Chains A and B, each alone.
Chain A
Amino acid sequence: MSDASNVTPEVDERIKTRSRFREALIRPELGGIVGTAVVFALFLLFAFDSGMFSSQGVLNWSQVSAQFMIIAVGACLLMIAGEFDLSVGSMIGFAGMIIAIFSVTLGWPVWMSIILTFALCIAIGALNGFIVVRTGLPSFIVTLAFLFILRGFTIYLPQTIERKTIIGGISDAAEGDWLAFLFGGTLFKGLFQWLGDQDIIETFTRGAREGQPVVDGIPMLIVWAIALVIFGHILLTKTKFGNWIFASGGDAEAARNSGVPVNRVKVLMFMFTAFCATVFATCQVMEFGSAGADRGLLKEFEAIIAVVIGGALLTGGYGSVIGAALGALIFGVVQQGLFFAGVESSLFRVFLGVILLAAVILNTYIRRMITGER
């Protein structure tokens, strides 16, 4: 795409004019916005009457997208700050298992287990960041080490303590717990019951839940995702700290020279990524009532893919939280939507590869326009 030179300057030769279309392209979210529109258009076309857009279907892909969003926000801010975290998936498994061990095996109150798990996991995130900034090693390697370390513990601990790799019974322990509700509860139950009674959404036709709506509320998972996206977006675009994040990832040395506490920014972003992974894990554990050693496998890459589809650069210094959220939405809708459209599930990866490649090519093009490199 070297046709930038086709735009001939006419008014003032010192000012390079750019068309509105090109101007709009320079937003990092644009790839995500176009992608979202295309993906929804396609699925509306090919899978409209397959149940994908029934209330149950919408909840299904929303939940999957919300899961991706939660980890994508953390991964996005970290990537803009110039670092990677490959331990996200293992952290999800680890955090869930620690909650289960605290609350079920040790019998501690669930709220205390959750708070302690958050503290522990954020501390591990800080350790990740500390090692990266102190040794100057690539975060790729340091967090890869933690990918194995945390996964190992996630298998070893329950195997040693309980002689199995899945710990259940968390639902019973979490019954009536105030903090557990914040992660596993659902909001607006009354509204949805009313919608069900009015036949606006479908209801169960048999069994113990007959007459109840198939979707009984907005899961806290989705609330968390939206809250984190808003928080991340404001932090990145409206605060001094947000500028520091961009500066740390753009050119760390230049940022240091102009007084940005680069190391602190990076460590804090590692801690935030760990926080997001723990939110993911806690929501999952509270919803499903058990923690398993295989939870979160490959989620680190899914987070990075969502962020890249959303327009962030792997090299850091450029990106947007809204873009990452749209990337997560595309990812979730494609993953679940392929099923509704009746596509062979092994083709999911082909799709993912195509979308990832298209997104990266588009993003490279955008970067060239901004920096003017050829």
Chain B
Amino acid sequence: MISLWKKLALATAIVATPMAVATQAVAEGEKYVLVSHAPDSDSWWNTIKNGIALAGEQMGVEVEYRNPPTGDIADMARIIEQAAASAPDGIITTLADYDVLQQPIKNAIASGVDVIIMNTGSAEQASEVGALMYVGQPEYDAGKAAGERAKKDGVTSFLCVNHSIQQPTLVDRCQGFADGLGVELGNSMLDSGADPAEIKNKVQAYLSANPDTDAVLTLGPVSADPTMLALQDNGMAGDIYFGTFDLGEEIVKGIKDGVIEWGIDQQPFLQAYLPVVILTNYHRYGVLPGNNINSGPGFVTADGLEKIEQFAGEYR
């Protein structure tokens, strides 16, 4: 019997340890929570985590990053409710699905928490829910700008490699690109899944089935890295017109090597860093910029890659 009690006690100790650690980590100052819609597997959000951590350190405030582990937006709504219940000074969140997230966000604002919308969403939606401002890159417009740029370069058909087809914003990018080119999206969007080997093989299969494809558009490092490998394998690297959303170490290398024409930088660092700074100054001194902030799109080409190379994946 004694041994059983011992085991129970041991189990309790094991469960309690991380909490004891956690309670020591609480700092002084204002507290801000950033809630994203990204699943754990999406490494792009590392820049966001670094961005709020840096801002928190510089401003002397406590920051936290929260996300639904599988990227389920309904779970994200619960996380926002939960964040509001823990009574922080402000919440920084994406608006990945307006219908689902609007009520939790409105409730948070009504219970006295200031909200800034970042990354996903739009300026209109941000003001509709009553957020202070929107910091980010309007996705459809960014896609369209990219499409128009590609059209100028003579592209008439394309493949859009979508690694997370459930997310409406990623579909918006493909749709915008198609509209910018002036062609139907149709079968040009490939549901690639997030597994690198799968993406690589699907891209190769698509390109061998549709050899007259002019351009490839990827929507982030998750799909860009394996796509680059696929193009190197089938000899189309450097030949096919290749554009991508977002930056990452491999993408920067690709741009340098001439495999990738351009990368669309939405500067996630700003999306994470600025809201923390803005909220802190708003709460300390009552100052607030009078407009929304577009952190992107900026086209990154082979010119002036130095800073980007240095900080790719960390702050860029």
| Residues of A in contact with B (beta carbons under 8 Å apart) | 1, 3, 19, 21-22, 34, 38-39, 42, 46-47, 50-52, 54, 56-57, 59-61, 63-64, 155, 159, 163-166, 168-171, 202, 204-210, 214, 284, 288-290, 292-298, 336, 339-351, 354-355, 358
Contact = CB atoms under 8 A, between A and B. Distances in A.
Given A155-B191, A292-B100, A297-B70, A60 B78 contact: yes
A345 B8 contact: no
A34 B84 contact: no
Contact of B99 (A34, A202, A288, A293): A288
B3 A1 contact: yes
A165 B85 CA distance: 30
A50 B88 CA distance: 10
Interface in B43-78: 64-67, 69-74, 77-78
Contacts of B110: 204-210
Interface stretch (B16-24, B207-215, B224-232, B291-299): B16-24
B259 interface: no
B87 interface: yes
Nearest to A208: B110
Given A342-B23, A343-B19, A355-B15, A63 B78 contact: yes
Interface of B: 1, 3-4, 8, 11-12, 14-16, 18-20, 22-23, 25-26, 40, 64-67, 69-74, 77-79, 81-87, 97-100, 103, 106-107, 109-112, 130, 165-168, 171, 175, 185, 191
A71 B22 CA distance: 31
A59 B78 CA distance: 10
Nearest to A165: B166
Contacts of B66: 339, 345
B19 to A, nearest CB: 4
A88 B73 CA distance: 18
Contacts of B4: 1
A243 B162 CA distance: 50
Given A34-B8, A342-B64, A46 B82 contact: no
Contacts of B74: 284, 288, 292, 295
Contact of B40 (A46, A64, A341, A346): A346
Given A292-B166, A294-B73, A336-B78, A343 B18 contact: yes
Given A1-B3, A345-B66, A289 B85 contact: no
Most A CB atoms within 10 A — which of B22, B74, B79, B81?
A: B74
Contact of A336 (B82, B98, B106, B112): B82
Contact of A38 (B1, B15, B40, B86): B15
Given A42-B16, A208-B110, A57 B165 contact: no
Given A155-B165, A336-B78, A296 B72 contact: yes
A298 B68 CA distance: 12
Nearest to B79: A339
A159 B8 CA distance: 51
B82 A340 contact: yes
A164 B171 contact: yes
A350 B99 CA distance: 32
B14 A354 contact: yes
A288 B86 contact: no
Given A56-B85, A339-B82, 20 more contacts: A46-B20, A50-B86, A60-B82, A61-B82, A159-B165, A165-B168, A165-B171, A168-B98, A171-B99, A205-B110, A206-B109, A207-B106, A210-B110, A214-B107, A288-B77, A294-B70, A295-B72, A295-B74, A339-B86, A341-B22
B9 to A, nearest CB: 10
Given A1-B4, A42-B15, A289 B86 contact: no
A296 B75 CA distance: 9
B99 A169 contact: yes
9 contacts: A34-B8, A46-B19, A155-B165, A169-B99, A205-B110, A209-B106, A296-B72, A340-B85, A358-B11
A166 B168 contact: yes
Contact of B111 (A165, A214, A350): A214
Contacts of B3: 1, 3
A362 B5 CA distance: 12
A340 B65 CA distance: 13
Contacts of A38: 11-12, 15
Contacts of A164: 168, 171
A346 B70 CA distance: 12
A290 B72 contact: no
Contacts of A344: 22
A342 B66 CA distance: 11
A288 B72 CA distance: 13
